[in-house]
Chain A
């Protein structure tokens, strides 16, 4: 495997057989990719936490409804299964 990452570019304006180029990324592109990967991972963690928080709130609400006397089926009907 090449040490430097490459991108595959197919230029459709060229005749078939001459379209594909394999181009090494520039250092600026490599740096940009690393920034994007870091940002994406941070966003993924934020999204996962948001989903976990939402599920925790949902379960908390469900528990309180059941504590008020609703059956679990009734509570689920209100908050969504």
Chain B
């Protein structure tokens, strides 16, 4: 098994409304995306989208520093926000197994906020995307606002 860094996107000084990898080759087994994110507004989440179309379903286990819950989330990722401790970023990882298969894709997300306060979300998500085409593009979009400078997304393939 070999894990190879394909590319890293680093958001520049203007911020970014989304970050997207396109042209993903279908010659590996699994995809791993590592994210370090911060939103320009007080919105602690971001979503993933693969290719276009298809529908997503999720089961999420969420802790916020004082309580735990589970739900069928409408978002995939935790992101630091404009009110998080200064200069801190969230940490998230996404794993998509068999991303080039002709079946629906399952994925997992492990995501945490970094915040020097009681409120800091930690989420584990089991997700499914109904698309049956190989994943060739992957976009990360904040729920609102923009990703700020120094946010990063690194795409790896596992062969």
Contacts and interface: CB of A to CB of B under 8 A. Distances in A.
Interface of A: 1-2, 5-14, 16, 19-20, 22, 25, 29, 33, 36-37, 40-41, 43, 47, 51, 55
Given A13-B25, A41-B43, 15 more contacts: A1-B14, A5-B16, A6-B17, A8-B11, A10-B21, A11-B22, A12-B6, A12-B24, A12-B155, A16-B7, A40-B75, A40-B143, A51-B67, A51-B69, A55-B67
Interface string B136-159: 000001011110000000010000
Contacts of B12: 8, 22
B97 interface: no
A7 B16 contact: yes
Contact of A7 (B20, B23, B43, B69): B20
Contacts of B24: 12
B131 interface: no
Contact of B17 (A12, A16, A19, A25): A25
Of listed B11, B21, B67, residue having the most chain A CB within 10 A: B21
B74 interface: yes
A55 B69 CA distance: 10
Contacts of B17: 5-7, 25, 29, 33
Considering the complex of A and B, which 8 residue pairs feature the smallest CB-CB distances, nearest first? A13-B23, A37-B144, A5-B17, A12-B23, A40-B143, A7-B18, A11-B23, A9-B20
Interface residues of B, number: 31
A16 B6 CA distance: 10
Interface of B: 6-7, 9, 11-25, 43, 45, 67, 69, 71, 74-75, 141, 143-146, 155
A8 B151 CA distance: 12
A37 B143 contact: yes
A10 B20 contact: yes
Contacts of B69: 51
B72 to A, nearest CB: 10
A8 B16 contact: yes
A37 B143 CA distance: 6
Question: Most chain-B Cβ atoms within 10 A of its Cβ — which of A8, A36, A51, A55?
Answer: A8
